[in-house]
Amino acid sequence: MSGISWKTDVGVNHVGAYQVSGRPYATGSLDATGASAKVVAFPTVTRWVTIVNHSTSALSCSFSANGMGTNYFRVHGADNDANSAPSTVRLELKVSELYFSGSDNFDVVAGLTNINTTRLDTSSGTNWSGSSGVG
């Protein structure tokens, strides 16, 4: 028998990786108004993600590049009032990247697990890219 069969990396179904607090990740003042989608690639699989849209324009979000066509959700834009709070959504999702378009000012904050992003890959690409409603 070659190798150590009992030694495996933590995978996406490892409950303990989601029971502990996530390692902090934050990126801000992002602009997704260009011709192609803005990609936020996380260093490890997320435990949760919060998206904050400071712009008055809606922000389209998807889980794959293909999803930007028809399989996306929107984070509404903030009110025009200077005193209004930005539009925020928190998602309990295990993802390795997100795709955005439409807003010229948004932030992404996440709690990261210790799960390597390659654990979401399959022979046909990222696991979520072929999922129903993802694209």
Structural domain including 100 reads 19-118
Give the pTM. 0.85
Contact 102, 37 (CB under 8 A): no
* Domain-located, residue 24: yes
* Domain-located, residue 33: yes
CATH of the domain at 84: 2.60.120.770
φ, ψ dihedrals at 77, nearest 5°: -75, 160
Contact 73, 117 (CB under 8 A): no
* Total number of domains in the chain: 1
* Domain-located, residue 9: no
pLDDT tens per residue, range 17-66: 888 889 999 999 999 998 899 999 999 999 999 999 999 999 999 988 88
Count of positions (residues) in the chain: 135
pLDDT tens per residue, range 57-97: 999 999 888 888 888 999 998 887 767 788 999 999 999 99
